[in-house]
Amino acid sequence: MGEDDESIVREFLVESLENLDQLDRDLVELETHSTNSEIINRIFRIVHTLKGTCGFLSFGKLESVSHVGENLLDNVRCGRVSVTPDIISALLSLSDVLRSLLLTVEQTGSDGEENYNTLITLLTSLNKAPGSAAAMGVSQTPGVTATDSPIVNLQHPIEEESPAEILGEEAPVDELEAVFRAERAKYQAEQQSVAKVSEQKEKSVAAVTPPATEDAKKSELTETALRVDVHLLDKLMNLVGELVLARNQILQFTKNQSDAELISTSQRLNLITSELQEGVMRTRMQPIANVWNKLPRIVRDVAHSCGKQVALEMQGKETELDKTIIEAIKDPLTHIIRNSVDHGIETPEKRLASGKAEEGRLFLRAFHEGGQVNIEIIDDGGGVHLDRVKAKGIERGLITAEQAARMTEREILNLIFLPGFSTAAKITNVSGRGVGMDVVKTNIEKIGGTVDLQSKLGEGTTLRIRIPLTLAIIPALVITSGGDRFAIPQVSLLELVRLEPEQARKGIESIRGTPVYRLRGNLLPLVHLNKLLRTEIPAGINDGTVNIVVLQADERQFGLVVDEINDTEEIVVKPLGKLFKGLTTFAGATIMGDGRVALILDVMGLAQRSNVVSDNKDRAVHETESKNKDTGSSKQAMLLFRVSDTRRMAVPLSQVARLEEFPHSAIEYSGGQQVVQYRSQIMPLISLSEVLADPRLRLVDSAQPEKQAGDTIQVIVYTSNESSIGLVVDRIMGVVEERLVVQRNIVRPGVLGSAVIEKTVTELLDVESVIRTALSGYTESTPALAA
Amino acid sequence: MPDDRQFCTFLVDGLYFGIEVFQVQEVIRFQEMTRVPLASPVIKGLINLRGQIVTAIDLRRGLELAERPESSLPMNVVVRTGDGVVSLLVDEIGEVASTDPATFEPPPETLRGTARTLIDGVYKLKGRLLLVLNTDKAVNVC
């Protein structure tokens, strides 16, 4: 095959595949509007064109299969056969077969050896109309052109086209002709500016073919549009990135220059570069319709296979997104749609029973908002059964029953996004295999987006996705730490806080070495970038001023302490090579205005490294717990006590059985364990100062020297299953009643989190965990308590 | 071994190394570097090579040799590897050496450490030994 032939075949493939996508959409539409001759004609023309071109290019197999379809469609078109769901299904499978044949052609250069007799027989048997029998199921010889087609009864004079014409045009022929006619007339009338012409074109087309406005617009587009290789666009994008960097360098340089001409030239360069950047970025923009167009077919297939009726509506098809983002959301979106139809929308009987229309409604909406794209998937189905989700969460070990009882609606809904979760009562072949929503969430977060789920039982579910427009060039905050500059993407940036030396000394508190800052009443854990990256603090610059960059990582806030905050800048993200895989603290690198390289911090990676957020599962549970206390808490009575001079702790009074004081002489030992006789029981003692001091949580044993020199020890008695345990503390401080805002940012064994109680940071004791760990070697005497 | 291979040669801590010329993109003098905290110590930093960000690898560290004295600045041998373009930091650049395949020998068995894996073989040149560096492996030590 010569080079020319190859390029013809390639063009034919691209075009035909596009046409088949259109065919799928039309077929699905035909199912609801079974008498719409407009659609039927369009379908017929697609198959007819395909068949004709195949003949021309000698793809006999493709031709014979499409020929059978064409025969059936011809009869449909002339009203001899009426449209039934069976016919639609058969035609859709024809579309599938044609697609796979085209892919075979793409890979091997020929249309393969497989035979499609089943489909051919099926299509033939559906084509029951009299008079068409002669044209059925006959394998045509290769080389047949459109003019040789056995169809006589054509509404449009398709025979007149030459194969080359069919080849070159994507749009249906009659409409193109209309456009051509209109154009010719218009050009004769006046020779206007290009902009005006295209404007008029639209008008004249609308006038000639009023019923098919949408289609006319499409053919308009193909006339002014041009196919461009994606690689070329990628290259252009890279070059523009370089240009942006060079521009930044020039701007930096001219800052210190006084030459007026140089300054004005560099300003012009600045403007042109920005415009060019925007323009090139727009070439990579694609309407979301590119992804959505595949959905009607998916919705139909899924709905059919689970016996449901679903109407799909779309709004904002023209909303544009960067190509890479389009690619990235394709799979998550498909999954969500399948889920909505499979789990969301109920069966017709159920819908009727609950007073809804038989047909479910799936509504897709896309729109721009604040530099981001919102995509909403709304169904009017059964909504999420919160109790079922809870039960599933408990069953899968994602949450405990106790946690479940305290969770808010939103938190329960978010359980769906945890790995290993599936609510489907039975696993269907469509969805519900336990992989899915977590993958959806991770994929969308990977491109810097967020997913939010809202649901009302019996009324439906709304899933909202927010994603950035582009990834290549992003605004970032530049900071200095340890003498190096780093860029922080602005999406994760919340605010900047600067503390003067005096404020810093007072404002930054510490919980056992972990610094926290009270930002408007909430505890903000602080992470020192120097410490985290193990870079030294340059001498001389630290006068005690503290610069805090408040960042958001996965619904958690933390303060990054940096040496200096410099400026914001548009940066071009360059990936770090394979050599840095496993280095999660950096998202990439960029070249700064002065030509030096700066690393881009990965906020999520930083948060993970500094334990602001822990593993997925843990994180979600902690999050839900802490939020629950944030929102739903009423005032709670807390017992305050000191464990050592530095540690102020609290425990809910409801967990405390009694407060006791024992003389030192009362302490006895049983198997190396400190015990006291208490209410005719032997009560083990746990010294909190020692248990909490040691990260491994040990029991006080006799070998340890006595820390308390006083005459008595103060003990909080904790009772469970009729056995008592004594927690030895340094000093009981009293009981307060306060609304608790628990921060779980600093999690250590034995500590649930911290809260501000009486305006002082106080740690919350995790009684159960302390006892469980401390008494693990003391099972004989307290079977009920030991874990 | 193919005959008459040409090597771009350089010195690292007194050792005479060579990389086949077709693998070398260019040789440039010392460049300002941005260090990468937490990365392997073999990675010395990132340099801006005409708008491209290139990782610089300290061959002394990669070969477990003595640290380069503070006073001397390394040279960059920019090579194309399977993992993209990488810069190898060396002490001094030598000439392009032509070799005679007859003088090639695999590295001695007694050679140990990472050097054993990074050196493909030895050419016995007049008066000195030319060690053939495997760039792909050199890049992967980090």
Q: Strand A723-729 relative to strand A586-591: parallel, antiparallel, unpaired?
A: unpaired
Read off the pTM: 0.47
Q: Are B104 and B95 in contact (CB under 8 A)?
A: no
Sign of CA dihedral A95, A97, A100, A106: negative
> Of residues A423 and A42, which shows the higher confidence score?
A42
Q: What mean pLDDT comes out for the span A277-301? A: 85
- Give the pLDDT confidence score for residue A188 in this predicted structure: 53
Average the pLDDT over each of A652-661, A682-691, A704-713 and give the range with the smallest value: A704-713
Helices then strands, each counted (H, E), chain B: 3, 11
> Choosing among A574, A597, A601, A602, which should be mutated to test the B contact, i.e. which has the most B CBs within 10 A?
A597
| Chain A residues close to B34, C-beta within 8 Å | 484, 589, 596-599
Answer whether A599 sits within 8 Å of B34, measured CB to CB: yes
Interface of A with B (CB under 8 A): 242, 245-246, 482, 484, 533-535, 574, 576-580, 583, 585-586, 589, 591, 595-599
Residue A59 has pLDDT above 70, yes or no: yes
Rounded CA separation B89/A346 (Å): 66
pLDDT digits (tens, 9 = 90+) for A212-230: 444 444 444 456 777 788 7
Q: What mean pLDDT comes out for the span A123-145? A: 50
Rounded CA separation A30/A85 (Å): 10
Answer whether B86 sits within 8 Å of A580, measured CB to CB: no
Q: Is A177 helix (H, G, I), strand (E, B) or coil?
A: helix
Rounded CA separation A621/A400 (Å): 9
How sure is the predictor about A738, in pLDDT bands with cuts at 50, 70 and 90? confident
If you write DSSP's letter for every residue of B27-42 in order, what string do you get? EE-----B--TTS-TT
Q: What mean pLDDT comes out for the span A277-291? A: 83
Please report which helix (H) or strand (E) contains residue A276, including its range: helix A260-283
Residue A16 has pLDDT above 60, yes or no: yes
Nearest to B47 among A484, A578, A597 (CB): A597
> Choosing among A235, A248, A562, A579, which should be mutated to test the B contact, i.e. which has the most B CBs within 10 A?
A579
- Give the pLDDT confidence score for residue A672 in this predicted structure: 76
Q: Does the model's ipTM exceed the 0.90 cut?
A: no
Query: Tokens in use for A355?
Result: 């007073």
Query: What is the DSSP-derived secondary structure letter of residue A341?
Result: I
- Give the pLDDT confidence score for residue B58 in this predicted structure: 92
Alpha helices in A59-143 (DSSP H): 60-77, 85-108, 117-126
Q: Is A368 helix (H, G, I), strand (E, B) or coil?
A: strand
Amino acid identity, residue A512? R
Q: Are A48 and A149 in contact (CB under 8 A)?
A: yes
Answer whether B48 sits within 8 Å of A579, measured CB to CB: no
| Chain B residues close to A580, C-beta within 8 Å | 36, 39, 43, 55
Please report which helix (H) or strand (E) contains residue A622, including its range: helix A616-632
How sure is the predictor about A703, in pLDDT bands with cuts at 50, 70 and 90? very low
- What percent of chain A stands above pLDDT 70? 75
User: Taking CB atoms and an 8 Å cut-off, how many pairs form between chains A and B?
Assistant: 61
- Give the pLDDT confidence score for residue B2 in this predicted structure: 53
Answer whether A583 sits within 8 Å of B34, measured CB to CB: no
Q: By CA distance, what is B31's nearest residue in A?
A: A596
pLDDT digits (tens, 9 = 90+) for B87-119: 999 999 999 988 888 888 888 888 777 778 888
- Give the pLDDT confidence score for residue A113 in this predicted structure: 74
Q: Are B52 and B76 in contact (CB under 8 A)?
A: no
Q: Are B26 and B124 in contact (CB under 8 A)?
A: no
* Shortest alpha-carbon distance between residue B73 and chain A (Å): 18
Rg (CA), chain A: 35
pLDDT digits (tens, 9 = 90+) for B20-77: 999 999 999 998 899 999 888 889 999 988 778 899 999 998 888 888 888 889 999 9
How sure is the predictor about A364, in pLDDT bands with cuts at 50, 70 and 90? very high
| Chain A residues close to B46, C-beta within 8 Å | 589, 597, 599
Residues 18-77 of B with CB under 8 A from A: 32-40, 43, 45-48, 51, 53, 55
Tokens 């410099």 correspond to: A566
pLDDT digits (tens, 9 = 90+) for A598-638: 999 988 888 888 877 654 434 333 433 444 443 334 567 78
| Chain B residues close to A574, C-beta within 8 Å | 53
Q: Are A644 and A730 in contact (CB under 8 A)?
A: yes
Please enumerate in sequence order all residues whose Cβ is within 8 A of that of A6, keeping only pairs 6 or more positions apart, or say none: none
- Give the pLDDT confidence score for residue A488 in this predicted structure: 93
Answer whether A577 sits within 8 Å of B51, measured CB to CB: no
- Give the pLDDT confidence score for residue B90 in this predicted structure: 93
| Chain B residues close to A587, C-beta within 8 Å | none
Residue A736 has pLDDT above 80, yes or no: no
Rounded CA separation A541/B138 (Å): 39
Question: Residue A322 forms beta bridges with which residues?
Answer: A285
Q: Hey, which of A83-92, A291-300, B85-94 has the most confident mean pLDDT?
A: B85-94
| Chain B residues close to A578, C-beta within 8 Å | 83-84
- Give the pLDDT confidence score for residue B75 in this predicted structure: 93
Query: Tokens in use for A198?
Result: 């295209």
Rounded CA separation B21/B132 (Å): 12
- Give the pLDDT confidence score for residue A780 in this predicted structure: 42
Residue A678 has pLDDT above 60, yes or no: yes
Residue A357 has pLDDT above 90, yes or no: no
Tokens 């439906």 correspond to: A460
Average the pLDDT over each of A23-32, A653-662, B77-86 and give the range with the smallest value: A653-662
Q: By CA distance, what is B57's nearest residue in A?
A: A579
Q: Are B138 and B62 in contact (CB under 8 A)?
A: yes
Nearest to B53 among A484, A534, A591 (CB): A591
Q: Strand A635-642 relative to strand A731-739: parallel, antiparallel, unpaired?
A: antiparallel
Rounded CA separation A497/A559 (Å): 9
Rounded CA separation A343/A425 (Å): 9
- Give the pLDDT confidence score for residue A778 in this predicted structure: 53
Please enumerate in sequence order all residues whose Cβ is within 8 A of that of A264, keeping only pairs 6 or more positions apart, or say none: none
